[in-house]
Amino acid sequence: MENILVIGANGKTGRIVSKILRDSNKYTTYAMIRNEVQQNYFENQGIKTRIGDLEKDFSDAFKGMDKVIFAAGSGGSTGDEKTIAVDQKGAIRAIELAKAHKLQKFVMLSSMGTDDPSQMKGLELYLRAKKAADDFLRESQMPYTIVQPGALTDDKGADKVEIAQKLNKSGKISREDVAYALVLSLNLETAKNKSFELLTGNQDLEKALKTF
């Protein structure tokens, strides 16, 4: 069994990721949460927790872990300061800690548009922060996968996607499909050291990830 630290586990995507991992027979899930009151939600479902806040010292959360999925984010209702603190500095610190603890894989939930933030009016600062973390990961020599989805929805997963390094269009995808892509990326050789954009499409998710 591999020990997987899910950062941002209490978020909409993070909760789905944590359940997929729990239901697999390959992984032990450790949900990183920043507030003890969130502990019951996970422990009631048989999911272990680690307390850690990306804006503080969260190094203890990495002890004994094999791989990490980063699904945290400051969200749209906080200011620029939080975006830099969480999406950029927090993510970069998580990569440094993963490397220091000799983890085997870092799977990053990023976003479409990070390649050229100037093209997305109103989202430039957020996308520049995400890009800084993505670039840091690419250069970290840590095995990685960077998943760059379009707009996230709460729809049920379609299990059908469109995937490419660059899709050259905008669109949507459900958090459930993104969560499956993040989990599959933990071990797929075809996803190793790759970044890819992801939208709802016509190809089976797992097949698409194995062949793109």
Ligand X SMILES: NC(=O)c1ccc[n+]([C@@H]2O[C@H](COP(=O)([O-])OP(=O)(O)OC[C@H]3O[C@@H](n4cnc5c(N)ncnc54)[C@H](OP(=O)(O)O)[C@@H]3O)[C@@H](O)[C@H]2O)c1
Q: For residues 13-28, b (16+ Cβ closer than 10 Å) or e, as one string?
A: bbbbbbbbbbeeeebb
Give the x-and-dash track for 46-75 against ligand X (CB under 6 A): -------xxx---------------xxxxx
Q: How far is CA 178 from the centre of its chain?
A: 9
- By C-beta, is 27 or 110 nearer to ligand X? 110
Give the x-and-dash track for 111-140 against ligand X (CB under 6 A): x-----------------------------
Q: Which residues are catalytic?
A: 126
Binding ligand X (rule: CB under 6 A), the pick from 152, 158, 164, 188 is 152
Look up tokens 């010292």; give the residue.
Answer: 57
Least distance from ligand X to the Cβ atom of residue 43, Å: 16
Judged by CB under 6 A, does residue 109 bind ligand X?
yes
- By C-beta, is 86 or 183 nearer to ligand X? 86
Least distance from ligand X to the Cβ atom of residue 121, Å: 16
- By C-beta, is 74 or 208 nearer to ligand X? 74
Cα Dmax for the chain = 44
Least distance from ligand X to the Cβ atom of residue 28, Å: 20
Binding site for ligand X (CB under 6 A): 8, 10-14, 34-35, 53-55, 71-75, 86, 90, 109, 111, 149, 151-152, 175
